[in-house]
Structure 1
């Protein structure tokens, strides 16, 4: 579905592409795929928006803050075309699907608005915009959830996974793999069913082929993505495949060393999935399963589809099946009619389940959701802030205490590269080398239970596994050193590269 309006334009451009991505891992993957497609048209990626003649903003609508950030970025480009009329500015993703024409009204200098289901059209839309004698504002979005049959709406949200671009990945050794799109849960506060469309699972053979290609490219860790990833179901060749079947299949792919998946839905945490995580050596012993609230009344208002007791039963099965498995959660504070007692129940839930970490958000009313239409946003902002801070304090204390349990232990780490601390120092022009070892810097990676680990070593370790002995910690990070072993002459064992 597309529409156009016109203004004067110029067609030439410098081939430089800037893309800004906010939001979840799904958006990060979408940006990777868009960049890969545009590289085929000769585009070169730049991190400087002033240097680019093509600027794309891949957006998120889950929180109001994310939308404000994008509109601020667009505002800074308000007069950019006065001296560079050849620039093309595009808004992609969830905000584009939700706001559509509103984006053109708020930012008339935007050229294209492309929803989550039309990303494959971006190269063509950019070409059409530049090639037209008059500048054409173009919109390509999917059908609304009430604008057709289920089949029609589903087909308007296309899964777009044809190309990959390693430069856009978290690291050269890690990649996201979309196994499903959309969501049918319709939580009252959430825009995702509208912006991402109906729940659809990709064929397992297609997913496995993609993973094999990634492994050939040097990827060591794949993270399977879905709005409710453990809801994955797809019938192929007469057989029903679930997420546990995918993990078993990927576990057999040579070169892949770690398998993870996000985000899980509590009611779909089946025993076969937990057993696969327990039994398969490549499966990371970590689950992200949002509780969202510790009060049944709030969960009902949110239409989460489970009770606190349901979540407790799930946590019991996780702990019984996979001892030592890390679990993280999401929480919303200040939702409609949230009382102090309800808030305390959320704090009690964090204390009971001792999450590795929690992503905590102040409730932000989103237009078009059932909560915005039917429930009052009646918790004052200062109360939301206080409850948010109280929850952070409780979670941080638990994270510190549980991380301290690792001191003196050894953990296996997939080395991701130079730590963020070292990167920031380098950006300021500071020396990041380790005293006494000029070839070593602070590196970071994640353990098999998803804890961040920082240690000193040679950057050449990136993409390898290292054994780290933990000697300190913070609430977010284990701090240690590489374990070195003495080996006798003729031994096949290799010392780790530390200098």
Structure 2
């Protein structure tokens, strides 16, 4: 069986897609390698939201093309959002690409690989024929129709996943679980609704079963994923097979979400889903979710978080701009005042909640006044961190056609750096508020930064010369040195502390440790285990 190299660009949804693809292909006998030079199949799971991620993917395709020109027998596949957005045009512009597979069709990937392998072996095969090398959902996706969504084989792909705690991604005992696919928001700067299609929600029983299987495999923490995760809503009895099995269904329109509490046993809301996972899978120590849409986040979700201790009090709440004028041009659907009202509700119900955000600087027509309003908002909200990006026009978005990219790049860079410095100040205050408190840390990795052992000049083992060295005595044990480990609190605050030695540090990875916080920085807590 051939060897596969799989590289992932972009968001957590892509990371989960790649995990599922790898598990599916491994179950069919494919071997995976971390070295692209050792692989005969190169798969790139791509992102079209950020220009940097896209440029990296194009660079990889260029390198693959060079290898093919040298005569190597390679199969090159482009997965994800770039495949969906560019479609067969990518095959024309990049002839080294053998197959395309959009994010809504990953269940077809093994057949695509098999078909591309067979057709490439046929003498005289015309690479201009693209039909057999493409599986795309498109804006008019079969996933967008209610009946077609119920026939979604991607549900089987999610449920059939295999969690391997020995792989590097699994050692921290954390896993992603998808609850929705697609997006209905159509922000003018974003291509996701066009590449991932309309919102489709998984049946709650399938989600809970996946969480249960992950817990049985050793997972301590799951992160529920959705482009707008709090829009999850499943109406029972609509998408059901003849055998009575519930299937994925298209989500309701935006008018269905007005922060009201749904008192209907036939509907599973996001709050009810969180509560069920918490109550029915007690083996899970932590339940997270992202990303949240600020306007439609109901108090019922906050109440579930407040009353169920294993639901992490962490919210990723992208705001994008502090200017109402810019928010309207972005088609975000809320005002600064509505965003701040929501933040106040969060902190009233969850005083120890940690909040992260997203911001875009240099959106078309952004003025100095607009930018100052963004700075004011940042000073008002206790963001633990912000993901800050310079606007870049993305192919396939509304903004690229509707608005000229009229903010000079040097202005974008200056504003970006200004917000990064401001966020460092805000983040430092948030992190400092945890000093003196105790919290639980899920250890993820060894940082390789260690505290140096204390050595006295009066130590008889010291030798003087061109440098200073320590000579162990004849009966002396080899001195050990503390090894620093890093993990995250329930509020997603990165925390470091020392283990007494490397063996202990390695044993702590994937465990939850009680830590007393003794110091902090803009992005970091420092503590000691208790």
Task: Give TM-score scaled by structure 1 length.
Answer: 0.87
Measure, in 2, the Cα distance between the counterparts of 1:121 and 1:52: 21
Give the 5 Å matches for 1:218-237. 218-236=218-236
Tell me: CA distance 1:291–1:46, structure 2 relative to 1, closer, same or farther (3 Å).
same
Shift of 1:448: 1.9
- Structure 2 partner of 1:479: 526
Question: Given the alignment, which residue of 293, 312, 317 partners 1:284?
Answer: 312
- Structure 2 partner of 1:340: 368
Question: How many residues are matched?
Answer: 458
Whether the 8 Å contact between 1:440 and 1:456 is mirrored in structure 2 is yes
Measure, in 1, the Cα distance between the counterparts of 2:168 and 2:298: 33
Measure, in 1, the Cα distance between the counterparts of 2:211 and 2:488: 21
Measure, in 2, the Cα distance between the counterparts of 1:115 and 1:262: 22
Shift of 1:421: 5.5
Tell me: CA distance 1:145–1:303, structure 2 relative to 1, closer, same or farther (3 Å).
farther
Does residue 73 (structure 1) correspond to residue 73 (structure 2)? The answer is: no
Measure, in 2, the Cα distance between the counterparts of 1:57 and 1:387: 33
Measure, in 2, the Cα distance between the counterparts of 1:74 and 1:210: 34
- Structure 2 partner of 1:94: 81
- Structure 1 partner of 2:490: 448
Measure, in 1, the Cα distance between the counterparts of 2:26 and 2:50: 31
- Structure 1 partner of 2:277: 250
- 1:276-300: per-residue Cα shift (whole Å, max 9, x none)? 1111110111100111110100000
Question: Given the alignment, which residue of 41, 44, 47 partners 2:34?
Answer: 47
Tell me: CA distance 1:28–1:414, structure 2 relative to 1, closer, same or farther (3 Å).
same
- 1:379-402: per-residue Cα shift (whole Å, max 9, x none)? 111111111110111001111222
Whether the 8 Å contact between 2:447 and 2:485 is mirrored in structure 1 is yes
- Structure 2 partner of 1:396: 424
- Structure 2 partner of 1:141: 136
Whether the 8 Å contact between 2:172 and 2:443 is mirrored in structure 1 is no
Whether the 8 Å contact between 1:153 and 1:197 is mirrored in structure 2 is no
Measure, in 1, the Cα distance between the counterparts of 2:225 and 2:308: 19
Q: Which moved more, 1:229-238 or 1:390-399?
A: 229-238
Find the structure with the greater CA-based Rg.
Answer: 2
Give the 5 Å matches for 1:12-51. 15-51=2-38
Task: Give TM-score scaled by structure 2 length.
Answer: 0.82
Measure, in 2, the Cα distance between the counterparts of 1:197 and 1:75: 29
Does residue 183 (structure 1) correspond to residue 196 (structure 2)? The answer is: no
Shift of 1:145: 4.1
Whether the 8 Å contact between 1:36 and 1:163 is mirrored in structure 2 is yes
Measure, in 1, the Cα distance between the counterparts of 2:392 and 2:341: 30
- Give the RMSD, CA atoms, in angstroms: 2.2
Shift of 1:406: 2.1
- Structure 1 partner of 2:117: 130
Tell me: CA distance 1:255–1:415, structure 2 relative to 1, closer, same or farther (3 Å).
same
Shift of 1:438: 3.5
Tell me: CA distance 1:124–1:235, structure 2 relative to 1, closer, same or farther (3 Å).
same
Question: Given the alignment, which residue of 108, 113, 130 partners 1:121?
Answer: 108
Give the 5 Å matches for 1:296-335. 296-335=324-363
Shift of 1:86: 2.8
Tell me: CA distance 1:269–1:456, structure 2 relative to 1, closer, same or farther (3 Å).
same
Question: Given the alignment, which residue of 218, 234, 239 partners 2:266?
Answer: 239
- Structure 2 partner of 1:3: none
- Structure 2 partner of 1:11: none
Gaps of 5+ in 2: 238-264, 451-476
- 1:328-357: per-residue Cα shift (whole Å, max 9, x none)? 110010001100010011111110002010
Measure, in 1, the Cα distance between the counterparts of 2:345 and 2:151: 38
Does residue 64 (structure 1) correspond to residue 51 (structure 2)? The answer is: yes
Tell me: CA distance 1:148–1:213, structure 2 relative to 1, closer, same or farther (3 Å).
closer
- Structure 1 partner of 2:162: 164
Whether the 8 Å contact between 1:145 and 1:194 is mirrored in structure 2 is no
Shift of 1:440: 4.9
Question: Given the alignment, which residue of 296, 318, 323 partners 1:295?
Answer: 323
Whether the 8 Å contact between 2:230 and 2:297 is mirrored in structure 1 is yes
Measure, in 2, the Cα distance between the counterparts of 1:353 and 1:188: 25
Question: Given the alignment, which residue of 387, 393, 399 partners 1:365?
Answer: 393
Tell me: CA distance 1:53–1:470, structure 2 relative to 1, closer, same or farther (3 Å).
same
- Structure 1 partner of 2:245: none
Tell me: CA distance 1:153–1:94, structure 2 relative to 1, closer, same or farther (3 Å).
farther
Shift of 1:256: 0.5
Whether the 8 Å contact between 1:54 and 1:87 is mirrored in structure 2 is yes
SS of the aligned residue for 1:78 comes to helix
- 1:133-177: per-residue Cα shift (whole Å, max 9, x none)? 336651110132499974478579864413234337464500000
Measure, in 1, the Cα distance between the counterparts of 2:493 and 2:398: 36
Measure, in 2, the Cα distance between the counterparts of 1:173 and 1:198: 31
Question: Given the alignment, which residue of 379, 389, 400 partners 1:351?
Answer: 379
SS of the aligned residue for 1:144 comes to coil
Tell me: CA distance 1:15–1:437, structure 2 relative to 1, closer, same or farther (3 Å).
farther
- Structure 2 partner of 1:263: 291
